[in-house]
Structure 1
Amino acid sequence: MNDLTNFNHLTSEQYLTQLQNKLEHRHLLDEHRNLSLSDSSEQDFLELFFSEKVFTPDKEFSPHTIRAYRSDAKTLLQFLMEHSLSFRNIGFPEVKVYNKYIKEKYAPKSAIRKLEFFRRLLDFGYETQFYKAHLSTWISKPTSKKGHYIIEETRLEAEQTRVQVRELNQKDAEYLISCFPKIVKANTNREQLEKRNLLIGYLLYTTGLRASELVSLNWGSFRYNRQGHLYADVIGKGKKPRSIPVKDETIELLFDYRKSLGESVEINPEDVNPLFFALYNKKEPCEHKKRLTYPSLYKIVKEAVHLAGKNSKVSPHWFRHTFVTMLLENDVPLAVVKDWAGHSDISTTNIYLERVNQDNTHVYLNKVNVFK
């Protein structure tokens, strides 16, 4: 896919020479030496779109993001195939029809994401002369309720009937976490697996880590600050580093898990071995460590949800929403919560605060004497 631009191993001079040769050989440069796809194949168009605008070398993508991009591309390809269209055939009528199709078939948040992918593709096509018109101007996205919500509808043509918040109350969260170790079925390394799963639940619930951040943890991610408190250092969205304090209850489980593996509990910032790794069918669980993947983490949560008999929609990310809400309910300052959660903008954190305040309106209502 990246035959045109994947020269990361080369020096700058080699990179320039090979890229020039590739583009000139395929006639992809205009008289101004700008990228021009006016006469290119659709394969070149798609290859360059993904390499230059989607999976750029300077960005790291979570498994969730990669799946989303692939899903969006597959949706567009299927639509074109069903209507016997090629990318070259896309014009004003096709943009409007695809826009209508997406808005009718998908919930607002998914529709917005898929139409944003389509917009980026059309803009790239216009910038590179693959399309002669600025077609993305005809895209109209649906509105979506901001924040951590699921919009439930009775049917496609109906008005929205209920808004469900993607978070757990404290009782449900704690019960669900207690089910994490109970889903272990293997006899090999049962104790280690149970301790691992319980620690995963506690870290999700007490740190607000994103799933991708949790599976990326190494033993060297932990450190003591100057006051002797344990912190986890993570790299979040946009490669933004942040430090998260670890609660005493979670620290106890962390060390207990390490001891069950026969590992040292001495903090070692140089240790790049994964904190969580596959343990099934390993005679020596600490050798050949294969980092726990997002699908494996997702499966752990889903199996615990099923065992607990809770909402089947619950995913690892629900714990993050629960954590942020819990902080705000306990009067942790908004700016502190923003930094702790790794939100890029305080307006994101404020969405949680607005709902917390709404949930507390009964306090004010009870102060009003409506019966004389």
Structure 2
Amino acid sequence: MNVPALLSSHDAFLQQLQSRQHLLDDTRNLSLANCTDEEFLEYFFAIGILKENRTFSPHTLKAYRSDAKTLLAYLAEYGLDFRSIGFPEVKAFNRFITAQYKPKSAARKLEFFRRFLEFGFNTHFYATRLAVWIQKPLIQKGHVAESGENRTSLRELSSYEARQIIDCFATVVQADRNRAPLEARNRLIGMMLLTLGIRSSELIQLNWGSFRRSRQGDVVVDVLGKGGKQRTLPVLKETEQFLFHYRSLCGESSTFQAESTEPLFFSMYNKKDVTANKKRLSYAALYKLVKDAVRIAGTRPDVSPHWFRHTFVTNLLEQDVPLAVVKDLAGHADISTTNLYLERIQEDRMHDHLKNVKF
């Protein structure tokens, strides 16, 4: 069984429902009690996962597909179908996932499985609420990476480490063709990761038209974040200089064009004309760029693009930018997420608070 592709449109989805009368009960409410496994998976994605009025990053969609493939592969290995799932199968799959994956990945895959079972119960595919038997592993909250001896290390960089890596973004370029615009592009990527705290998915989706000037004349960028939520970020003067240098090398004027939907970052290798047929930079290419720069810089090999986002939030809070402002800049849905950073910073400062106390 294959993971279903996204439905083309709302109209097509409605037509499918109307043409499949066996998926409706006597009150014309959705009932999947008589559907096939393929139909159940299709509607689980269409209704239970890919909800209307939501936008999903390529990274999120890839994770959902991976979780579905993990479940399908497990069922295929033991000769099971969806309707074979009961209490023993739920507990067995739970143990399998917990044993095979690190806590964070296991928790995500089990959350996918929980939603799968809950959707099945709500649509009468399953007669009982099997999701209650799932037990997800405990995971360390906050921006930490797992390490040995029951300890955790922070997935963030010092300002010095971050700058050291960014300085190597241009060094990554080995090609002679388009060397100047490639180096300028890479430098701008590094500065935007560090000074905007932007997610990788948000960065690669930026267009030339994403930038504009505020009423005060400052350069800002409109970012489309998780769940289709838009936020506006200020572009610092240092980053602005890299932006305009890159624009000039790409043949763009110094005047922002709000209607431009051409990608800000695109592939330039082996192209005679960098202004033609712009293919948007992929996450894989961004990830490789960061990894190559990290290797050249000789820093911790596990650094990924997301580390710069954690570094951005920590730097702001350490310099006493208000918590609510940092939340808005980072695009956190809940201030409790931002507060996790602040709690760690306050913990680090405890010794400073007590050093002048006499007992």
TM-score w.r.t. the length of structure 1 is 0.91
CA 278–130 in structure 1, closer or farther in 2 if over 3 Å, else same: same
SS in 2 for 1:281: coil
Q: Which moved more, 1:113-122 or 1:80-89?
A: 80-89
1:154-212 Cα shifts (integer Å, max 9, x gaps): 5xxxxxx1111110011110000001010112111011101100110000000101111
CA 249–333 in structure 1, closer or farther in 2 if over 3 Å, else same: same
Q: In the alignment, which residue of structure 1 is the partner of 2:288?
A: 299
Q: Is the 8 A contact 1:4 1:48 kept in 2?
A: no
Deviation at 1:133, TM superposition (A): 0.9
Q: Which residue, out of 281, 286, 305, partners 1:316?
A: 305
Deviation at 1:214, TM superposition (A): 0.8
Q: Which residue, out of 200, 206, 210, partners 2:195?
A: 206
Deviation at 1:58, TM superposition (A): 3.0
Q: In the alignment, which residue of structure 2 is the partner of 1:102?
A: 97
Q: Is the 8 A contact 2:17 2:23 kept in 1?
A: no
Deviation at 1:224, TM superposition (A): 1.4
Distance 1:72 1:346 in 2: 28
Distance 1:351 1:198 in 2: 30
Q: In the alignment, which residue of structure 2 is the partner of 1:8?
A: 10
Distance 2:37 2:280 in 1: 37
Distance 2:312 2:9 in 1: 42
Q: In the alignment, which residue of structure 1 is the partner of 2:173?
A: 184
SS in 2 for 1:182: coil
Deviation at 1:2, TM superposition (A): 6.3
1:102-146 Cα shifts (integer Å, max 9, x gaps): 222222221211111001110111112211111001112222221
CA 362–187 in structure 1, closer or farther in 2 if over 3 Å, else same: same
Q: Which residue, out of 6, 17, 22, partners 2:19?
A: 22
Distance 1:102 1:316 in 2: 27
Q: Which residue, out of 74, 77, 84, partners 2:79?
A: 84
Q: Which residue, out of 311, 316, 328, partners 1:327?
A: 316
Amino acid at match of 1:126: F
Q: In the alignment, which residue of structure 2 is the partner of 1:356?
A: 345
Greater RCO, 1 or 2 (C-alpha within 8 Å, sep 6+): 2
Q: Is the 8 A contact 1:334 1:350 kept in 2?
A: yes
SS in 1 for 2:300: coil
Q: How much is the aligned-residue C-alpha RMSD, in angstroms?
A: 1.9
Distance 1:75 1:147 in 2: 26
Amino acid at match of 1:112: A
CA 132–169 in structure 1, closer or farther in 2 if over 3 Å, else same: same
CA 7–238 in structure 1, closer or farther in 2 if over 3 Å, else same: closer
Amino acid at match of 1:36: S
Distance 2:256 2:216 in 1: 15
Q: Is the 8 A contact 2:120 2:126 kept in 1?
A: yes
Q: Which residue, out of 257, 261, 264, partners 1:268?
A: 257
Distance 1:178 1:165 in 2: 22
CA 254–362 in structure 1, closer or farther in 2 if over 3 Å, else same: same
Q: In the alignment, which residue of structure 2 is the partner of 1:279?
A: 268
Q: Is the 8 A contact 1:242 1:340 kept in 2?
A: yes
CA 4–114 in structure 1, closer or farther in 2 if over 3 Å, else same: closer
1:273-325 Cα shifts (integer Å, max 9, x gaps): 21111111111111211111111111111111121122222111110000000
Distance 1:228 1:8 in 2: 41
Amino acid at match of 2:37: E
Distance 2:183 2:212 in 1: 25
Tell me if 1:124 matches 2:119: yes
Distance 2:260 2:146 in 1: 43
SS in 2 for 1:181: coil
Distance 2:5 2:192 in 1: 41
Deviation at 1:268, TM superposition (A): 2.0
TM-score w.r.t. the length of structure 2 is 0.94
Tell me if 1:72 matches 2:61: no
Q: Is the 8 A contact 2:192 2:198 kept in 1?
A: yes
Deviation at 1:20, TM superposition (A): 4.7
Q: Is the 8 A contact 2:57 2:226 kept in 1?
A: no
SS in 2 for 1:194: helix
Tell me if 1:217 matches 2:206: yes
Q: In the alignment, which residue of structure 2 is the partner of 1:158?
A: none
Deviation at 1:7, TM superposition (A): 4.4
Q: In the alignment, which residue of structure 2 is the partner of 1:157?
A: none
